[in-house]
Amino acid sequence: MSASSLTPDQARAHLVATVLRHLSRDAGRRTEALEEFMAVTLPDMDEHGARVLSTMVPQLPESLYGKWAAMFADRLQETVPHEHLAALCDGSEDNDATIALVYVMFMESEKMERQVAEDLHALGIVQDGKNGPGDAGALLGAYLRARLTARGQGPAQ
């Protein structure tokens, strides 16, 4: 199918699928990324501590990633003319990489930072109800917020 004959629904589906395809689901890569994140945000933490904390970070449900990818596609369709999106959704490796990069930029927006915080808060409420107050993810979140706040990098409570 040529880019010019791509419908808005097809463009949206391509955007969402491309974003989801670029998300890593490899447990080893996830652990490595979390350990690197801990090393950057908490440089005084030793390697073993970062490894232990990274194992406590709960997996997010696939539905959240789908929700955020759909929000991204919707926002692009609101702001970018369809003919430009259709050209971007040609399936080429370069354009798919561009879509992934624009998604990262979208996720870093102030609006999405609030949305992610709301979604994670809602997830935490569900998890607390299911797993009780000792939920490892809730404890980890409280620990990281306290450490980052103490360093002047976290949210003020």
Structural contact between residues 39 and 45, judged by C-beta atoms closer than 8 angstroms: yes
Residues 6+ apart with CB under 8 A from 9: none
Q: What sections of the chain are H helices per DSSP? A: 8-22, 27-41, 47-56, 62-79, 82-88, 93-107, 110-131, 136-150
Residue that has been written with the tokens 């369709």 in this structure: 77
Q: Which pLDDT score, from 0 to 100, does residue 68 have?
A: 97
Q: Which pLDDT score, from 0 to 100, does residue 32 have?
A: 86
List, for residues 3-19, the tens digit of each pLDDT value: 568 999 999 999 999 99
Q: Which pLDDT score, from 0 to 100, does residue 156 have?
A: 47
Residue that has been written with the tokens 């979140």 in this structure: 141
Q: What angle do helix axes 93-107 and 62-79 make, rounded to 10 degrees?
A: 100
Q: Which pLDDT score, from 0 to 100, does residue 71 have?
A: 98
Query: What tokens were used for 141?
Result: 């979140």
Cα 142 from Cα 132, distance rounded (Å): 15
Low pLDDT (below 70) residues in the chain = 1-4, 125-157
Q: Which pLDDT score, from 0 to 100, does residue 157 have?
A: 42
Q: Is the pTM of this model over 0.85?
A: no
